[in-house]
Structure 1
Amino acid sequence: MFTGVAFFFPDFAWLTEILGTPQLARAIHPFTGIIMFAAFIFLGYLYWDHNIPEKNDIRWLKGMLEVLKGNEHAVAYNGKYNLGQKMLFWTLNLAMVTLLVTGIIMWRQYFSHYFSIPVLRFAILLHSLSAFMLFTGILVHMYMAFWVKGSIRGIVEGWVTVRWAKKHHPKWYRDEVLPELEKDLQNEAEGKHVKTKALFKGING
């Protein structure tokens, strides 16, 4: 991604030095793109079921103003992910698929000679737009992680507190977190070993 930014914006040409030289960066860029695509597909496989839009998501959209004010909990009934996160998930995956297809068409060493000049130009345009969409989406994701207090912990450490889950994702809390906690309490009462899932540890947080 960084090499792509360097190719598109001359002011960021120094980014190509991450891989050694501009020539090496240009040669490696398609291969790193394939690796990045594979990583996105793997993550998509892991999380797609939680990112299917639901009827409740419309409440998040209607209450967008309150969401931006930091009052998401007052207007939405979110599952594990809110509608904004779901939209970002599908947008990034669509961008990655488009980047792969157009990147293959543009790959001069192996495939570009099979396509006409108009097709190549259109592929370059789509590739650039998709890269912009991907980069913007990642920036939005990073910004919102800082905007919503407690989100950074979930991203960096892989868990959130029970209080945070109940406030920001009440449907997820009711359907998945609470039953797991009740199960842990029952096991503890019976003297069994308790190992709370990391995704929602910190009951007093």
Structure 2
Amino acid sequence: MARPYYSEPGDRIESTRPVTVSRYRGFIRANHWITALSLILLLISGLAFFHPSLYFLTGLFGGGQNARWLHPVIGVVLFFSFLTMFVQLWRLNMPRPEDTTWIAQIGDVVKGNEENLPEVGKYNVGQKFIFWGMSILIVVLIVSGVMIWEQFFGELVTIPTRRVAVLTHSLAAVAIILVFILHVYAAFWTRGTLRAMTRGTVTGGWAYRHHRKWLRELAGRRQRGPAE
């Protein structure tokens, strides 16, 4: 059997009356929420250190000292949780021929005229942008974060280098906050998306409207059967 092009092996049509499609397995969903929670905690603790007027946010962590040592530890958790998700999903987030047309018709995306858009696989260009944006920014954050983690790595870099790392870390943090906000907005804007990460399934209508090539591949796999 050929390797799926638009889907993962675990994706499948669970039922036909009504049509219900399995989009994310339990492990992926749990890992996604660990990543999201880690990012939120880093956002809050990072903002507390960003400006004195936001220092009160350290109270959510039990004070400044706790927030100071928890921030880099949570950063490591974020890196490895996202790495786990990256290993599973990177292939389906690679560019596809239809992505160029999708970008060219971005106006239809904003207006919600999806009937004018090309059929896409499990992820559209917007989702791929968020995935790769997160991937790059998390690498920048972990590398720059290690460089400024004085408790364990203070002697590995010079003070001028550490200053550059602090600036890089701050800029990457602002960028990932913007990408995260875009991700959350898109999840609420596209009705039915949150169900995929809470229940693991989507309706057949949702799959047909937003990710038709993905659904067609699953339907073809169902017709052929697991033995082929």
TM-score norm. by structure 2 comes to 0.75
Matches of 2:49 and 2:115 in 1, distance apart? 42
| Offset at residue 14 of structure 1 (A) | 2.9
Matches of 1:62 and 1:106 in 2, distance apart? 41
1:69-80 alignment, distance < 5 Å? 69-80=111-122
* SS at structure 2 position matched to 1:80: coil
1:1-205 alignment, distance < 5 Å? 1=42, 2-176=44-218, 178-182=219-223
State the one-letter code of the partner of 2:220.
P
Matches of 1:124 and 1:167 in 2, distance apart? 44
| Offset at residue 41 of structure 1 (A) | 0.3
* SS at structure 1 position matched to 2:121: coil
Which structure: larger Rg? Answer: 1
Match of residue 187 from structure 1:
none
| Offset at residue 180 of structure 1 (A) | 4.6
1:72-102 Cα deviation digits (max 9, x unpaired): 3421321100011111101101111111100
1:101-132 Cα deviation digits (max 9, x unpaired): 00010011121333222211111111111111
* SS at structure 1 position matched to 2:152: coil
* SS at structure 2 position matched to 1:109: helix
Q: More strand per residue: 1 or 2?
A: 2
State the one-letter code of the partner of 1:50.
L
Matches of 1:165 and 1:12 in 2, distance apart? 42
Is the CA contact (8 Å cut-off) linking 1:106 and 1:112 kept in structure 2?
yes
Q: How many residues are aligned here?
A: 184
Q: Which residues of structure 2 form unaligned runs of 5+?
A: 1-41
Q: Is the alpha carbon distance of 1:82 and 1:52 closer, same or farther for their aligned partners in structure 2, counting shifts above 3 Å? A: same
Matches of 1:133 and 1:156 in 2, distance apart? 26
CA-atom RMSD, angstroms? 1.8
State the one-letter code of the partner of 1:162.
G
| Offset at residue 49 of structure 1 (A) | 1.2
Matches of 2:124 and 2:51 in 1, distance apart? 34
Matches of 1:155 and 1:70 in 2, distance apart? 22
Matches of 1:97 and 1:141 in 2, distance apart? 18
Matches of 1:52 and 1:71 in 2, distance apart? 24
1:124-161 Cα deviation digits (max 9, x unpaired): 11111111121111110110111112112123222111
State the one-letter code of the partner of 1:130.
A
Matches of 2:198 and 2:51 in 1, distance apart? 30
| Offset at residue 58 of structure 1 (A) | 0.8
Is the CA contact (8 Å cut-off) linking 1:3 and 1:25 kept in structure 2?
yes
TM-score norm. by structure 1 comes to 0.83
Is the CA contact (8 Å cut-off) linking 1:66 and 1:75 kept in structure 2?
yes
Q: Which residues of structure 1 form unaligned runs of 5+?
A: 185-205
Ranked by relative contact order (alpha carbons within 8 Å, sequence separation 6 or more), the top structure is 2
Matches of 2:198 and 2:54 in 1, distance apart? 27
State the one-letter code of the partner of 2:86.
G
Matches of 1:5 and 1:96 in 2, distance apart? 17
State the one-letter code of the partner of 1:60.
W
